[in-house]
Structure 1
């Protein structure tokens, strides 16, 4: 009887440790995500007011709007797609994290609107806007 109790106790302990290690090494923290043509409900009024003003301008093709460190919006004219990426470099001896919004040039009547959400505990020290994206 004691052998069975010891065996089952050992088995439960091993399964607990294995389960903990599996969770510990597979759960990666949220860093960044983005959506086309979406606005977080809590930001909708501010973003729509900003967007109304940008759509009336003819001078600039790329417009950006940030709400704190965690939400960034881009509205671009004359571009057909975007590639959003997260990167890290060294600035001196310190890590420097950044988002890149790389837009693909399109037809004059093309438009792209994106919402980027980032984890302010991890990302980002800066935002890079580029228009060299040639991909599919």
Structure 2
């Protein structure tokens, strides 16, 4: 009887003392050259217009927890989440390429956590905030 009680006590202590692993919330994910099907119609026109525009360097659009960005003359982008002063910001830093390179990125983000602002940066300019 003492053995059974001791076994239950040990099991209780082991399971009672171990805390369940806390899952981290989804903040953001990104993919290149991808459009969510529900945004297809709206984005085809937006992307066409962005590719034709020679004046604006970085084109972006927000749609229901998604941000799409298009930049010509750049070959890659670094995407990060910055949390400071009780705000979550999305940062995109574009890496210079040739005049024929382009970056089109879809960023899906958790609207309850991200993003009260955006930072756009290229490796040949100063950061800009939106």
TM-score computed with the length of structure 1 as normaliser: 0.78
Structure 1 position 17 matched with structure 2 position 16: yes
Aligned CA distance change for structure 1 residues 11 and 37 (closer, same or farther; 3 Å): farther
Out of 37, 56, 63, the position equivalent to 2:59 is 63
Q: Distance in 2 between matches of 1:41 and 1:12?
A: 50
Deviation at 1:80, TM superposition (A): 0.8
Structure 1 position 38 matched with structure 2 position 38: no
- Aligned residue pairs: how many? 124
Structure 1 position 51 matched with structure 2 position 47: yes
Where in structure 2 are the equivalents of 1:1-136 lying within 5 Å?
Answer: 2-17=1-16, 21-24=19-22, 27-68=23-64, 70-90=65-85, 95-132=86-123
Deviation at 1:47, TM superposition (A): 1.9
Structure whose residues are more often helix by fraction: 1
Q: Distance in 1 between matches of 2:45 and 2:2?
A: 71
CA RMSD in angstroms comes to 2.0
Aligned CA distance change for structure 1 residues 62 and 10 (closer, same or farther; 3 Å): same
Gaps of 5+ in 1: none
Gaps of 5+ in 2: 125-130
TM-score computed with the length of structure 2 as normaliser: 0.81
